[in-house]
Amino acid sequence: MPDLDPAAGPDVVPAADAGLAHDPVFELHQGGKMEIASTVALNGPVELSMAYTPGVARVCEAIAADPQLYGDYTWTSNTVAVVTDGTAVLGLGDIGPRAAMPVMEGKAVLFKQFGGIDAIPICLDTTDVDELVETVVRLAPSFGGINLEDISAPRCFEVEERLKQRLDIPVFHDDQHGTAVVVLAALENAMRLTGKYHDTVRIVVSGAGAAGVAVTRILLAGGYRDIAVVDRAGVLHRDRDDLNPVKRALAAETADTTGRWGSLGAVMDGADVYIGLSGGTVPEEVVASMADEPIIFGLANPMPEVHPTVAHKYARVVATGRSDFPNQINNVLAFPGIFRGAFDVRASAITEGMKLAAAQALAAIVGDDLREDFIIPSPFDPRVGPSVAGAVAEAARRDGVARR
């Protein structure tokens, strides 16, 4: 999903037609959005001899003797690789690694702005799962964490899982888990407003790609039980013979336990919550069939599955992925703080407990200011990053993955 301004992505005018010299977007991107800066001064031969040869050799020898010193005396303890193959970029789809670079640069800027984390965009010219995994494994010694970005489903699931098995640093696919964390936080506050209960609320998740799968899994981990996940062919359930392993496993935890199946319209009838992660448009008559005071999160960009003007006719709480409507579900609320917290304790992984803690911390920031148009804080709220980071670090210690 897009991050800071989802509405802007697909509307960018192609370069050939843009009148580049007068387009402020292109002017902002001229020469890229990043640079590398030194943290030490080289004002003379003394500094040079310490920063480089011969002084640097002493640090190298110390790390060779005790690899645990690696994070103390290199940039790795505060540096993440933002890795993509360019196959699922914003709402633009498979545009390739070169066209994906402006987005990855933007992601790196967000890491720095909202988490104080250095990030390096890495756009790989391969879509082969084995090559992606092997390349990242070989690059991993240069980084303290790996943020996977805009890799299409279902390959993204395998890439992430294999990297988690092979690396002892945090691996996080933001399109999945960043979205999931923010959705859970927003839903928890929407539930407070409507007085609905975890064990009785009926949820429909439209979309079984990366975000849909992760959102469903974090909702299950958060105590929600009655969830129907819908793709283009209808509800995921055991009797379908067209499900890949990821969808089949998700069906076993959702509709297979509740007996729900059929079309989107069938499961929306009487549902309390709709979470759109698929695109397309939900007919108004289907929206009207939901339970009283429903919660509607239409997160497709630039056009939500249920436009807010329609959603507000029926819903108590409405959220989108856009910055021009209230309650923006924005990944930047999650990933900088999650990595900040993981780095602060030198975590070896990002656990489910750390994701849940991030969601709970986000929800708590709203506090007594909760209202229908304020269920999630702004990315520019200065409490967001530190609150999420602190909760994540504490959860890492509880889960036994903290190394300091």
Taking the chain, what is the end-to-end CA distance rounded to the nearest angstrom? 33
Tens-place pLDDT, residues 91-124: 788 999 999 999 999 999 999 999 999 999 999 9
Burial of 152 (0-12, 13-18, 19+ CB in 10 A): middle
Structure tokens at 137: 């494994």
Candidates 52, 112, 197, 313; catalytic one: 52
Number of residues written out for the chain? 404
pLDDT above 90 for 23: no
Q: What is the per-residue pLDDT for 2?
A: 40
Side-chain half-sphere CA neighbours of 276 within 13 A: 28
Q: pLDDT value at position 91?
A: 75
Q: Which residues sit opposite 89 in a β-bridge?
A: 93
Give the pLDDT mean for 321-344. 95
DSSP letters along 158-204, please? Answer: HHHHHHHHH-SS-EEEHHHHHHHHHHHHHHHHHHHHHT--TTT-EEE
Instruction: Give pLDDT, residue 17.
Output: 52
- pLDDT score of 30: 85
pLDDT at 223: 94
Whole-model pTM: value is: 0.90
- DSSP string across 304-352: -SS-HHHHHHH-SEEEES-TTSSSB--GGGTHHHHHHHHHHTT-SS--H
Q: If you average pLDDT over residues 121-148, what whole number do you get? A: 98
90 — pLDDT class (breaks 50, 70, 90): confident
**What pLDDT is recorded for position 302?**
83
* Six-digit token string for 168: 């002892």
pLDDT at position 279 is 81
**Band (179; pLDDT cuts 50, 70, 90):** very high
Question: What's the rounded mean pLDDT across residues 24-32?
Answer: 87
Q: In the predicted model, is pLDDT for residue 351 greater than 50?
A: yes
Helices (H), 95-173: 96-115, 129-139, 155-166
CA angle in degrees (0–180, nearest 5) for 358-198-282: 90
Closest CA to 333 of 404, 392, 249: 392
pLDDT at 20: 63
Q: Tell which phi-psi region holds residue 183, choosing left (phi > 0), alpha (psi between -120 and 50) or beta.
A: alpha
Q: What is the pLDDT of residue 301?
A: 84
Evaluate whether 47-176 and 180-403 have a shared fold.
yes
Q: State yes or no: is 52 an active-site residue.
A: yes
pLDDT at 300 over 50: yes
Structure tokens, 66: 């005790």
Token pair 């702004």 is at which residue?
Answer: 378
Q: Which residue has the higher pLDDT, 134 or 23?
A: 134
Region 138-165: mean pLDDT is 96
In sequence order, the β-bridge partners of residue 318 are 296
* Cβ pair 221, 352 in contact under 8 A: yes
Cα separation, 337 vs 386, in Å, equals 7
Measured CA distances, 135 to 83, 95, 138, 390 (Å): 10, 20, 5, 32
Q: Which of these, 337, 335, 333, 351, lies nearest to 402 by C-alpha position? A: 351
Task: Detail the residues annotated as belonging to a binding site.
Answer: 149-150, 175, 301, 330
- Per-residue confidence band for 18, with pLDDT thresholds at 50, 70 and 90: very low
pLDDT in tens, 5-17: 333 333 444 544 5
Catalytic residue chosen out of the listed positions 73, 107, 197, 247: 107
Report how far residue 287's alpha carbon sits from residue 82's, in angstroms, rounded to the nearest whole number.
Answer: 38
Residue extents of the structural domains in the chain: 47-176, 180-403
Binding residues for (S)-malate: 301, 330
Contact 32, 105 (CB under 8 A): yes
Q: What is d(CA 83, CA 124) in angstroms, rounded to the nearest whole number?
A: 7
State the DSSP H helix or E strand holding residue 295, giving kind and residue range, or none if neither.
strand 295-298
Q: How far is Cα 70 from Cα 66, in angstroms, rounded to an integer?
A: 8
Band of pLDDT at residue 363, cut at 50, 70 and 90: very high
**What's the topology of domain 47-176?**
Rossmann fold (3.40.50)
Q: What angle do CA 342, 345, 348 make, to 5 degrees?
A: 60
The confidence score (pLDDT) of residue 25 equals 86
Give which of 338, 362, 40, 293 is closest to 171, Cα–Cα: 338
pLDDT, position 4: 39
- Binding-site entries for a divalent metal cation: 149-150, 175
Q: What average pLDDT does this structure show over 70-84?
A: 96
Q: Work out the pLDDT band at 19, boundaries 50, 70, 90.
A: low
What the block records as the tokens of 355 is 């994701």
Reading the block at residue 192, the tokens are 């407070």
Active site residue 33: no
- Strand 202-206 versus strand 273-276 pairing type: parallel
CB within 8 A of 218, min separation 6: which ones?
A: 177, 180, 181, 183, 184, 352, 355, 356, 359
- Interval 264-293: pLDDT, tens: 999 999 999 999 998 889 999 999 999 999
Instruction: Determine the CATH number of domain 180-403.
Output: 3.40.50.720
